[in-house]
């Protein structure tokens, strides 16, 4: 008997979300990328707000791999259409109706909030098998970026959840772009900020590593940065967690802060093991917890960054320490038992 050849699971296709406010230069950047030989085999899904779609007509270098969505904003009213579009693309790939696709880029409308889109990509069982989410790239207009961040909450959210921020029009803005860069760094200390004029433009959408702990660049010491209404908190601790405590911590964090959480990223030591866990969440949606083969550098502390609105920094720090079982040496026993995120609900000391 001749054994049937093993088909094996198809290698997931890297998928990048390209976002940025209206007029930031997303389509122009995408056109430049698709002309780069490094981006051969890239399929593009373009979302436009309005009844007449034009952007997909402007990305001429990959016409046979473009799907245009123009029935509404991809972040809300057409998430079902986005799933259908990705499934149609996969069928076309599997049936060899289009050429080899090595990468997929979703370009959102300028009014889109990335969170709901990521919820689809992270939670859909089939799409999770076929696509490897590579991260969020946010394009920011250096000429108008500060005013846009002041006036539009969508622009703030787009910058806050980015893995990489690409600043465009810096040649026009000149030295004024330094203030915007500082604002973006305070808003999202996790994101790498690059100038669209620098280096090979293909670097903007490759090697992002949304869940790669080696890309962590936040301070090892507890620190905070804030530009109202969005702020960030960075923590580092010597202790680790059990897997169960980590799951409970993420659930508790989501329960207490809900949609105020824009971004959560962490490298957490697992008690008794040498393989740390990587956590990555956007607007309450967490990717599956990944385990690295080892620590990416000499710093083996558990590290956490939280970006969100109206954050209670003290509460987040107490939660983190509580699940890490991090002792507070100067805390009185009575306070340690009652002011503890893991304290028994309703527990109190009785009066003598």
pTM of the predicted structure, to 2 decimals: 0.65
Return d(Cα 308, Cα 232) in angstroms, integer.
6
Return the pLDDT at 318.
92
For the chain, the first-to-last Cα distance in angstroms comes to: 84
**Average pLDDT across the chain, whole number:** 74
Q: Residue 7: helix, strand or coil by DSSP?
A: coil
**What's residue 291's pLDDT?**
87
Find the length of the chain. 352
Phi, psi of 62 (to 5 degrees): -135, 40
pLDDT (tens digit, 9 = 90+) per residue, 100-113?
888 888 888 777 77
d(CA 346, CA 13): 50
Res. 225 pLDDT band, cuts 50 70 90? very low
List beta partners, residue 279. 266
Work out the pLDDT band at 246, boundaries 50, 70, 90. Answer: very high
Q: Cα(204)–Cα(45) distance, rounded to whole angstroms?
A: 18
Q: What share of the chain is helix, strand, coil (3-state, %, to 5)?
A: 35, 25, 40
Q: Which two tokens stand for residue 324?
A: 């890490």
Answer whether 203's CB lies under 8 Å from 194's CB: yes
The answer on pLDDT for 184 being more than 90 is: yes
Bridge partners, residue 13, by sequence: 131
307 close to 190: Cβ distance less than 8 angstroms: yes
Looking at the chain, the whole-number percentage of residues with pLDDT higher than 70 is: 69
For residue 344, what is the DSSP state?
P
**61 — pLDDT class (breaks 50, 70, 90):** very low
């Amino acid at each position: 008997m001749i054994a049937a050849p093993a088909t094996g699971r198809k290698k997931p296709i890297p998928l990048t979300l390209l976002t940025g406010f209206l007029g930031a230069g997303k389509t122009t950047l995408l056109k430049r990328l698709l002309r780069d030989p490094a981006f051969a085999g890239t399929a593009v899904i373009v979302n436009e707000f309005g009844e007449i779609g034009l952007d997909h007509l402007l990305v001429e270098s990959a016409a046979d791999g473009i799907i245009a969505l123009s029935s509404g904003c991809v972040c809300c009213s057409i998430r079902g259409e986005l799933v259908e579009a990705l499934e149609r693309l996969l069928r076309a790939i599997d049936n060899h109706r289009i050429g080899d696709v090595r990468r997929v880029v979703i370009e959102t409308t300028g009014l889109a909030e990335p969170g709901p889109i990521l919820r689809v990509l992270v939670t859909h069982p089939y799409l999770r098998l076929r696509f490897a989410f590579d991260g969020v790239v946010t394009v920011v207009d250096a000429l108008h970026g500060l005013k846009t961040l002041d006036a539009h909450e969508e622009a703030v959210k787009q910058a806050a959840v980015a893995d990489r921020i690409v600043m465009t029009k810096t040649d026009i803005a000149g030295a004024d772009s330094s203030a915007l860069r500082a604002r973006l760094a305070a808003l999202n200390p996790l994101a790498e900020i690059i100038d669209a004029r620098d280096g090979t433009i293909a670097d903007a959408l490759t090697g992002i590593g949304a869940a790669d702990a080696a890309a962590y660049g936040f301070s090892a010491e507890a620190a905070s940065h804030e530009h109202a209404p969005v702020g960030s908190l960075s923590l580092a601790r010597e202790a680790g967690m059990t897997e169960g405590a980590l799951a409970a911590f993420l659930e508790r964090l989501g329960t207490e802060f809900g949609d105020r959480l824009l971004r959560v990223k962490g490298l957490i030591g697992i008690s008794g093991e040498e393989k740390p866990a990587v956590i990555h969440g956007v607007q309450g949606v967490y990717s599956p917890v990944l385990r690295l083969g080892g620590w990416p550098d000499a710093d083996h502390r558990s590290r956490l960054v939280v970006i969100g609105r109206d954050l209670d920094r003290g509460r987040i720090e107490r939660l983190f320490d509580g699940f890490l079982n991090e002792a507070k040496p100067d805390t009185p026993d009575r306070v340690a038992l009652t002011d503890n995120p893991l304290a028994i609900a309703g527990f109190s000391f009785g009066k003598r």
